Structure formats: C-alpha cells, structure tokens
Amino acid sequence: MKKVKLAVLVSGSGTNLESLINAVNSGIIKDGQISLVISNKETAYALKRAENAGIPSFIIKRSSFDSNEDFDKYLLEKLIENKIEIVLLAGYMRILTKPLLDAYKDKILNIHPSLLPDFGGAGMYGIKAHEAVIKAGVTISGCSVHVVNEHIDGGPVIAQSRIKVMPEDTPQSLAKKVLIEEHKLYPATVQNFISTQVQL
C-alpha cells in the first residue's frame, strides 16, 4: 500500500520530530512517511534531526511576509508541491491561519502537554502549561493529541496519556515526565489516524 505523505512543522529542538522519525523507521508508523520538515526558525535543532534522517526541509521566516495569512499561503504551496496529505505540528510555535486550516481541514494534528481542554489555549505552551498545572495543584496531568482548527488547542481530542503529578514535582520535572509520554502517544496516534483516513 502507498504510504501517506506527512509533513512535520517545527520551531525548536525537535524531540517529538525525532520520535516520529524513529516510529517510521521502526514500523510503529507503518502507513506513513515523513516527506517534509518545515521550520519558521533557522536555529531550530529539529532541522538538524531532519537532515540526519535524510528528510527534505525548508525554513520559512515570518519576516519575509506581510501577514500571517501570506506566510501560511506560501507554506501551503510547499505542502502541495510535495503532495503532503497530513500535517503534524511538533513544537511549532505559530498559530495557523485560515488558508492552511481550510486546505487541510481535519488533516492537521498537534501534540499538547496537558490533558485538554484543561491548561490549553493562548499562552499555554511548553513549560507554561506545566507551571499552570503545578500552580493549580492537580494530581493528574499528561498530554493530548488533537485535530487543529481555528480555536487554539480547541480541536477534537483524539488521544490522551495520563501521568500522576507528585507532590515534589516541579514544572521542569513534570515536563520531562510528560515528554516521555508524548514520544509514545504521538507516533501511535498518528498511525491510528492514518489508518482511519485510509479506510474512509
């Protein structure tokens, strides 16, 4: 069977990208291949991970465009040129706009470091989400994979993984524990999502 072409959008170190690459190589993601990596940051170490894996990558700087929509239109052109079927966000620090959301409606996934809908939305990313969890005093946290729509972290949640928040946890220790879960949950969910799409 032909493998579904995936693109991964990144902004940072790319540990989730690495977990996705490893999952393709090991057969956890057996129905998809990562055909393209796009970053909005030229300093993103994720680009090095893509290079090491032999995956084509692009850097698209926001400063080169007049608006967020123009930025996304150009990004969309790259996705279409490369015949990308599903888009995965992995530490991508930009809010997607209408041109991209419309073209890939229900075909964009994101991994978020909390149990959505809790601790999601504007400003809730990375360590900030973990700081909010610790401050709230909740005893269970985790990560969520959701479909991306026009609402920040507001699309349908399709998978979650839970962990206990211990009394001694700090935002940093919680981040490490959640990241381990992200690296397991995201690849497995991507494979399930692809297989569901193929059946439609």
Active site residues: 112
Are the beta carbons of 193 and 86 closer than 8 angstroms?
yes
E strand or H helix at 57:
strand 57-59
Phi (first) and psi of residue 183, to 5 degrees: -70, -20
SS3 for 133? helix
Are the beta carbons of 171 and 156 closer than 8 angstroms?
no
C-alpha closest to that of 19 among 176, 159, 184: 184
User: Which residue type sits at 57?
Assistant: S
The rounded distance, in Å, linking the Cα atoms of 56 and 51 is 7
Largest CA distance in the chain: 50
C-alpha closest to that of 59 among 67, 70, 45: 45
